[in-house]
Chain A
């Protein structure tokens, strides 16, 4: 069972998490949903296309102008409240590493805290526990927030990802976050070169075997671009290929820009793996 705030999911349900950027400078959409109304439209569209979760972010993951906590709260705080009001049954995730931001968005109705920076703020788990929210524990190889890797290497990148994410999960558990509300994420590209991300993708089943539900954030990332020689706007096929591999390995949550395509790939792959029944089946059975 997976519990994301007030929402409970059975083990045979893969979930699609739609990225909603409230940033002016994100690498993929370049601020297309920075305006609040545009972001709300993006949420509605993602829901219509089959998203189970929206992941709202107020700070670009990569380098860029400084965004302090107050500005981040200005971008995402009340917006979470508007999304909650408009979509009462939707799981709302907020992409933040800051406990002060987390506290505000949980009050506004967030169900899940997506900490892309591996527990940089140790108080984040306390906020999740107090609010009854779920948390995503990522592996960044020890990088500070918004830092790209430079000559970072691992003896075994998957072993490192497992060690760090499960240790973080243990800290969340100790803080009082419910076991069924803790998710781990190898964090493709974060603290990783392309070879690392490919290896994590190939060996995602090892993370799944830890028993913690695994989130993968693959969408249009640099490891896809470098592997195929494609710029940010031309990485869908590569993203979906990586998605299929992770789905075959048993990842539970897929953080994406393109919801409909991902939904189909994940559902198809889970059905191939025998974890999901076809939606309809009468061919040859009538």
Chain B
């Protein structure tokens, strides 16, 4: 079984930047639940800052596993328990995310069966086991368990409250990116314009690698979809 989680590289998730009041409690809960769902030692894909965020999340989850071994066992055997825990802690966000985009998920699944098949065939031909990715990511296999933690997020220039100056190209960019993630659509992820992403302060470098990992037919769950500080975040999980 292969599991992939996408989380945003939000520096406020780092323990060194913790304030008394968590500015992103729902996002943090979604990220931690997703990382716990991945299981131990996932491959981390992202830029240097993103990897720091990923490792911090993994450390928190690992500490939780050590502190609560019964939960670890539950999580390892069936994995849904940890995710369920996260879901219970933030039902409104989960429901929000699910309600906001189910039609897109369904649409993508129904509309691209041939692409899914194409993707699978192409991967088998080009990767030949585990050595086919420049990133060092392991190729997924139906007979092995693999986990990937991908750190990426949308634009930071999408509203007047964004960190970056407002740019009216930001929301359309995020819309395209959202659809590519949720469908999922590897070709659309590969087609993202890196220069435009850079201009819009989006962190999408790892999404090409995500596209390489997606083989089609994945189950997609959107745990978080919001832009609380004018930066577009998603927490998305894929499994097959």
Interface, chain A (partner B; CB < 8 A) = 277-282, 284-286
Question: Complex formed: what's the CA distance from A286 to B231 in Å?
Answer: 7
Nearest CB on A from B30, distance (A): 16
| Interfacial chain B residues near A277, Cβ < 8 Å | 18-20
Contact residues in A for B156 (Cβ distance below 8 Å): 286
A284 CB contacts on chain B under 8 angstroms: 11, 163
- B229 within 8 Å of A (CB atoms): yes
Residues of B within 8 A of A282 (CB): 12, 23-24, 229
* B72: Cβ under 8 A from any A Cβ: no
Select one of B18, B19, B20, B229 contacting A286, CB under 8 A: B229
Task: Please determine whether B20 and A285 come into contact, CB atoms closer than 8 angstroms.
Answer: no
Task: Say yes or no: A286 contacts B12, CB within 8 Å.
Answer: yes
The reply to whether the CB of B10 lies closer than 8 angstroms to some CB of chain A is: yes
Cα–Cα distance between A95 and B231 once the two chains are bound (Å): 53
Interface centre among A277, A281, A286 (most CB of B within 10 A): A286
In angstroms, how far is the closest chain A Cβ from the Cβ of B10? 6
B230 surroundings in chain A (CB, below 8 A)? 286
Give the complex CA separation of A282 and B17 in angstroms: 9
A281 touches B229 (CB 8 A): no
CA–CA, A94 and B188, complex, Å: 71
Q: Is B21 at the interface (CB under 8 A from chain A)?
A: yes
Q: Could you give, for residues 1-14 of chain B, a 1 whenever the CB lies within 8 Å of some chain A CB and a 0 otherwise?
A: 00000000011100
Which are the 5 A-B pairs with shortest beta-carbon distances?
A286-B229, A281-B19, A285-B12, A285-B11, A282-B23
Contact A280 B229, beta carbon cutoff 8 Å: no
A284 to B156, CA, bound (A): 11
Which residues from chain A contact B24 at a C-beta distance below 8 Å?
282
Chain B nearest Cβ from A242, distance in angstroms: 26
Structural contact, B21 and A286, CB atoms closer than 8 A = no
Q: How far is the CA of A278 from the CA of B18 in the complex (A)?
A: 8
Residues of A within 8 A of B23 (CB): 280-282, 285
Chain B positions within 8 Å of A, measured between CB atoms, are: 10-12, 17-21, 23-24, 156, 163, 228-231
Q: Is the CB of A285 within 8 A of B10?
A: yes
Contact flag A280-B19 (CB < 8 Å), given A286-B156, A286-B229: yes
B17 (CB) vs chain A CBs: closest residue: A285
Q: Which residues from A are CB-within-8-Å of B18?
A: 277, 281
Q: Chain A contacts of B163 at CB under 8 A? A: 284, 286
- A237–B165 Cα distance when bound, in Å, is 38
Tell me the smallest distance from the CB of A270 to a CB of chain B, in Å. Answer: 12
Chain B residue with the shortest CB-CB distance to A286: B229
**Interchain CA distance A286-B27 in the complex, whole Å:** 11
**Contact A286:B10 (CB < 8 A) given known A280-B23, A281-B23:** yes
Most chain A C-beta atoms within 10 Å of own C-beta, residue among B10, B20, B228: B20
Measured CB to CB, the nearest residue on chain A to B163 is: A286
Q: How far is it, in angstroms, between the C-alpha of A277 and the C-alpha of B19 when the chains are bound?
A: 5
B-side contacts of A279, CB under 8 Å: 19-21
- List, sorted by A's number, 11 A–B pairs whose CB atoms are closer than 8 Å: A278-B19, A280-B21, A280-B23, A281-B18, A281-B19, A282-B12, A282-B23, A284-B163, A286-B12, A286-B163, A286-B228
For B22, give the chain A residue with the smallest CB separation.
Answer: A280
A19 to B93, CA, bound (A): 46
* Cα-based distance from A282 to B21 in the complex (angstroms): 10
Residue of A nearest to B229 (CB): A286
Interface-central residue, B10, B19, B230, by most chain A CB under 10 Å: B19
> In the assembled complex, which residues on chain A have CB atoms less than 8 Å from the CB atom of B19?
277-281
Q: Which residue of A lies closest to B14 (CB)?
A: A285
- With A and B bound together, what is the CA distance between A280 and B25 in angstroms? 12
Q: Which residues of chain B are within 8 angstroms of A278 by Cβ–Cβ distance?
A: 19-20
Distance in angstroms between the alpha carbons of A31 and B228 in the assembled complex: 50
Contacts A279-B20, A282-B229, A285-B17 aside, 13 further interface pairs with beta carbons under 8 A come to A277-B20, A278-B19, A278-B20, A280-B19, A281-B18, A282-B23, A282-B24, A285-B10, A285-B12, A286-B12, A286-B228, A286-B230, A286-B231
Q: How far is the CB of A276 from chain B (nearest CB, A)?
A: 8
Which residues on the A side are within 8 Å of B10 (C-beta)?
A: 285-286
**Chain B nearest Cβ from A273, distance in angstroms:** 16
Residues in chain A near residue B228, CB distance under 8 A: 286
Determine whether the beta carbon of B231 is less than 8 Å from that of A281.
no
For the complex formed, measure the closest distance between the CB of A272 and the CB atoms of chain B, giving whole angstroms.
Answer: 15
Which of B17, B24, B156 has the most chain A CB atoms closer than 10 A to its own CB? Answer: B17
Residue of A with least CB distance to B13: A285
A28 to B10, CA, bound (A): 49
Q: Whole-angstrom distance between the alpha carbons of A278 and B17 in the complex?
A: 9
